Structure formats: structure tokens, C-alpha cells
Amino acid sequence: MYRQYSQQAPIIFGCGAITVLGEKVRELGCKKVMIACEPGIETAGIVDKASKSLKASGIDYVVFNGVKPDPTDEIVDKGAQVALYAGADCVVGLGGGSSMDTAKAVSILLTNPGPARKYIQAKPIYVDTKVPVILVPTTAGTGSEVTRVAIISIPELNAKWSVFVNINLAIVDPELTISLPKQETANTGLDAFAHAAEAMTCKNWNHHSNILGEAAIRRIAKNLVTCYNEPDNLEARTEMALAANLAGLAFNDPITHVGHAIADALSCAFHTPHGLGCALALPETMALVAPAMQEPVRVIASAMGLHLTGNESGEVLGKLVADSIRDMMHAMNMKSLKEMGFTREQIVDLAPHVVENHLSSYCPVEITEKTAQELLARVYDSYM
Ligand SMILES: [Fe+2]
């Protein structure tokens, strides 16, 4: 059996990596950068670090700080207007997944006619872009710096759709994640876990993704709760930054599956943060797929440091992994859906949205409306 693993772009990894941004923009032959970010990235002083590097290399820049969580096509259009007006010839996504996804989508509109909505589809298409895209994460979770997908919300359809673009460079500087608040550390860290675990158990898994996913989960199991308890622990932050990057590399080809479809449904219906939705869905997603994907779930359990005899059934492996993820969630004080005020019925009613999400088609278990309802009920009931 043969399977494809697609390599995307170079990665510069390590503390202080942000200082090479200007030099790398110059090497790409660009003269003016648009930085896409959320306002909080500016107030945290992270834009200053990027602009200092750009100035040192004689690169002009403009900041678009209008990115919001779950960015919409309208935000992409606004960002593109800023970039076009400034004459930007390079886009930098600086922040979490929302900023990086916005930067990717903006790059389309610098050489293709708008609006953004023309290119963002339920089943994503690839759009050729000519403007370099550099991605600089400030969370350890999304992995968006190494994936070609940009996920954009379409409010009038109450949906999250996507587009594929070229990316040119990832700069991963763990020091940029030190200021990440505790709950975002927990949410984004378990998003990274979900990327790795769903890639490994996806219908489209590939050999490289399994190795990358295992390496990511090993680091997350060892370091995520430490990052939550000791935000300034640079060693743990560095391991988590590496883990999120590895998990991003892992899921670029296989994509993710039903756990992320649930997170999208929660996000569209209730604006639940993406990472939190992924975390809440993850234990029962693993329990659902374990009988069909026994060996990868065994690898996940082993990477988590769970004691195994080697004779466990898929069901047992799924339960062990699910329980262990829930332990991590409790250790980081993550609230249950009930504690957040949702009723069981509200969650089960999301089933049609989970079924129609293209990600569900990559799940090794067929996701019918009944399966989705039962899964959502277990997601609600099993974490209290
Ligand atoms: Fe994700």
C-alpha cells in the first residue's frame, strides 16, 4: 500500500527565531509586508518583536489588527483591502490559527479578484497565489504554520469552509507562547493532540503522519499540564511548540475527522473556541474509532505513557486513551459542556451539522445522523 505525504515549506524553529523575519522577507525578494494579527498580539508586544526584525532589514510593513477568532470572509476582504492599499508584496500571519488562516486567505486576493467568498468552499479547492506567506504562531496548538488550509467562517451559512494555498515559511519561536493565558494553553494544546490523534486514525492516514503524530503526542502528554501550571517554563513551552508543529505536519495530508467536525459545529452554533471544542470531542472520538483503528490507538496510548500489556482490545484501548485525556482536561480545570450551561439536547441537535461537515467523511467509522447523535450524547455525558 502506498500513501502520499506532502512537504510544504521550510520551518525555522527555536527561541529567538522571530529575529530572522526581516532577513527572510528580504531573501524572498519582498519589500513591504502586511502583518495580520488580533489586537491582543499587538498589546502583548509581539508585533513589536516582528517589526523590529523587519526594520533591521529595511523592510516596510503595515499592520492589519482586525483579525477575530473564527475569522469571516468579510475580515479576509478587509485585510486584503489594507494589504492592496499599502502595496504589500508579502503577508505574515502572526498569532493563533485565526491570524494565520486570515493571512493565507488574504494572499489569494493580492493577485486574484475578490471577494474572498469566491474561493472558500465546503469541499476546499487549491488556489494558486503569487504572494509569499510567512506564518508565525504565538500559540502551541493550531499547526496552521505548516498546513496549506485556511479555515474561514461564512456567517450567513453558519458554516466554516476552507481553501488551500501555498505557504512559504514557518517561523516557530517558543518564546512567543510564554504570554499565552492558562485556558488558551490548555485549549490549544489539546487541539494539537487532536490533530495528531485524528490524523493517525483517519481513513487517509499515511506513514509519515503516524511518526509525526506519535512524536507530538509523546511531548503533549509530558509537557502540556506543566505549561498550564508553570506558564514561564520555557523548556516545557519549547516542547509544546515543537509538538504543535509536528502535529500540524501530521495532519496536513490526512486532514482530521469527526472530532474536528464536532468542534466546528460547536463553534458555528455557540462560538465555542476551536481548541476547547476539539478537546471536548477528543476522548469519545478516540473511543469511537479505536475498534476500527486498534494499532494507531495503541501507539497513541503508548505515547501517552499508559501501561499496556499488548493484549488489549480496541475497545479497551479506546477507553484507556479517552480516560487519560479526560484526566488531563480535569488537571487543567477545563469546564464540561454542562458547566458551560449547555443542555444535552442542544448538543445532540448538532448532529446534522456534524454529518454534513466534509471532515466526517474521513472518519474510519461511518458518521450517520444516528451515530453523530449518539457520539454527541456521549461527549456531553462522559466529561463532567
Ligand atoms: Fe484543530
- How do residues 247-287 score in pLDDT, each as one tens digit? 999 999 999 999 999 999 999 999 999 999 999 999 999 99
Measure the CA–CA gap between 262 and 276, rounded to whole angstroms.
Answer: 11
Distance 313 CA to ligand 1 centre (A): 28
Q: What share of the chain is helix, strand, coil (3-state, %, to 5)?
A: 55, 10, 35
Task: Locate the DSSP E strands across 131-264.
Answer: 133-137, 149-154, 159-164, 169-172
* Mean pLDDT over each residue of the chain, to the nearest integer: 97
Given a contact cutoff of 8 angstroms between Cβ atoms, the answer to whether 213 and 249 are in contact is: no
365 SS3 class = coil
Q: What pLDDT shows up at residue 158?
A: 86
Q: Specify the CATH architecture of the domain 180-382.
A: Up-down Bundle (1.20)
Banded pLDDT at 1 (limits 50, 70, 90): confident
Alpha-carbon distance 97 to 169, whole Å? 15
Span from the CA of 340 to the centroid of ligand 1 (angstroms)? 21
pLDDT score, position 48: 98
Across the range 85-98, mean pLDDT stands at 98
Cell of 9: 515549506
User: Where, residue-wise, is CATH 3.40.50.1970 in the chain?
Assistant: 11-176
**pLDDT tens column, 283-339:** 999 999 999 999 999 999 999 999 999 999 999 999 999 999 999 999 999 999 999
Evaluate if residue 189 carries a pLDDT over 90.
Answer: yes
Indicate if the pLDDT at residue 70 is higher than 90.
yes
Domain with CATH 1.20.1090.10 in the chain: 180-382
Q: Cell digits for 348?
A: 445532540
Going from the Cα of 145 to the center of ligand 1, the distance in angstroms, rounded, reads: 12
Q: How far, in Å, from the CA of 52 to the mean position of ligand 1?
A: 31
Closest CA to 134 of 21, 44, 13, 240: 21
> Tell me, what amino acid is at 78?
K
Gap from CA of 165 to ligand 1 centroid (Å):
17
CA of 195 to the centre of ligand 1 (A): 6
pLDDT for residue 96 is more than 90: yes
H/E segment holding residue 34: strand 32-36
Give the pLDDT confidence of 122-172 residue by residue, as tens digits. 989 999 999 999 999 999 999 999 999 999 999 999 888 999 999 999 999
Distance in angstroms (rounded) separating the CA atoms of residues 68 and 89: 23
DSSP string, 285-308: HHHHHTTTSHHHHHHHHHHTT---
| CA–CA separation, 260 and 190 (whole Å) | 12
pTM: 0.96
Q: Give per-residue pLDDT as tens, 6-28.
A: 888 999 999 999 999 999 999 99
Model pLDDT, residue 187: 98
Q: Which residues are found with C-beta within 5 Å of the ion, ligand 1?
A: 191
Residue 229's pLDDT band, with cuts at 50, 70 and 90, is very high
What separation in Å is there between the alpha carbon of 220 and the centre of ligand 1? 15
- pLDDT for res 344: 98
pLDDT, average across residues 24-34: 98
C-alpha to C-alpha distance for 344 and 346, rounded to whole angstroms: 6
| DSSP codes of every residue in 261-282 | HHHHHHHHHH---HHHHHHHHH
> Measured in angstroms, how far is the CA atom of residue 24 from the centroid of ligand 1?
27
| Model confidence at 357: pLDDT above 90 | yes
The domain 11-176: what is its CATH number?
3.40.50.1970
- Phi-psi map region of 87: left, alpha, beta (phi>0 left; psi -120 to 50 alpha): left
Region class of 16: left (phi > 0), else alpha (psi between -120 and 50), else beta: left
pLDDT higher than threshold 90 for residue 72: yes
Cβ neighbours for 375, distance < 8 A, ≥ 6 positions apart: 258, 262, 284, 285, 288, 354, 367
Q: How far is the CA of 105 from the centre of ligand 1 (A)?
A: 17
